[in-house]
Amino acid sequence: MNENAQTATGMASAADNGSAPIGQAPLFKQPRDGFFELRGTVSRTQTIILGFLGVIALFLVWELAHYLTPEQQRKFVPSATQVTGKVIQLFAEKGFLGDVAKSVYRIYLSFFIACLVAIPIGILMGSFIKMRALINPTVGGLRYLPAASFVPLLLVYFGPTDFAKMALLFLGCVFFLIALILDNIEAVPRALIESAQTMGAGRIHIIFRVTFRSAAPQILDSMRNMIAVSWTYLVIAEIVAATDGIGAVMMRGARFLHVDVIMGGILTIGVLGVLTDITFRVAAHFLFPHTHARR
């Protein structure tokens, strides 16, 4: 009786302490990932919270930089609240919505045309090694030419037109997009292609039903990355003899030293870029749900 009482007492005390009873293996508790855990995991809720905290931290640093600037020079470092107020004023009183719409139109149309060119070329180069040997050296060389260097040539050929601006945006991303799509096609496992050939699939079937469908999620991801590059070229495209667009508004602000207008344009481009990125992510989630299910 005394031994049984001692055993029961030991089990009760072990349970109170959170440890295993005497004679039993301790319960395994998965350790929590630390903040700097290498290749750790993060939940959707944590992702949203941490992203929100990152944005708040950016605006706090921005405000701090404004107030740490000497008072005589603070107009050249406007605060986040001042810039946000200026953007609201531009939308409410200066017709900024039309400029934003014009810039979005130029970005999306030029990028759509770039995709129409880059995707077929990338697929051909990735599918046929001789086609890659023919085209890749030229495309590889053109990638190193800065798109801004084409501005004088485009002005000579097309003048200060919308076509010249969209041509610059097109040249800024098309060659990089071809290279990325080539990598996506080459990353398709060779075993898939050999299996399709073994089962008697034709060349066209293998290209479109095997290679392209297998690489489609990665191609969409490459497009998402490259449209961000298009946004970085927007101001360059719109500052030359531009009468509308976000870049034109920023240049008018620079002419009169309205730094808040310039920073408002930068902030607007950043927000539009984030919305574009979210749009691509949502499209990938619905078009290729199987890729998200594996993560």
pLDDT at residue number 121:
94
- pLDDT score recorded for residue 191: 87
> How many Cβ atoms are within 10 Å of 260's Cβ, its own excluded?
21
pLDDT of amino acid 112: 95
pLDDT of amino acid 143: 87
What residues of the chain score a pLDDT lower than 50?
1, 7, 9, 11-12, 14-15, 18
Say what the pLDDT of residue 294 is: 52
**CA angle, residues 78, 81, 87, in degrees to nearest 5:** 85
Candidates 49, 42, 33; CA nearest to 295 is 42
**pLDDT of amino acid 257:** 85
| Residue 31: predicted pLDDT | 63
Which residues, in sequence order, are CB contacts of 142 under 8 Å at separation 6+? 175
Q: Using the Cα atoms of residue 162, residue 168, residue 171 and residue 173 in order, give the sign of their dihedral.
A: negative
Position 17 scores a pLDDT of: 52
Q: Which domains does the chain have, with CATH numbers?
A: 75-293 (1.10.3720.10)
| Residue 1: per-residue pLDDT | 47
Say if residues 217 and 291 touch (Cβ distance below 8 Å): yes
3-state secondary structure 159-218: CCCHHHHHHHHHHHHHHHHHHHHHHHHHCCCHHHHHHHHHCCCCHHHHHHHHHHHHHHHH
pTM of the full predicted structure? 0.81
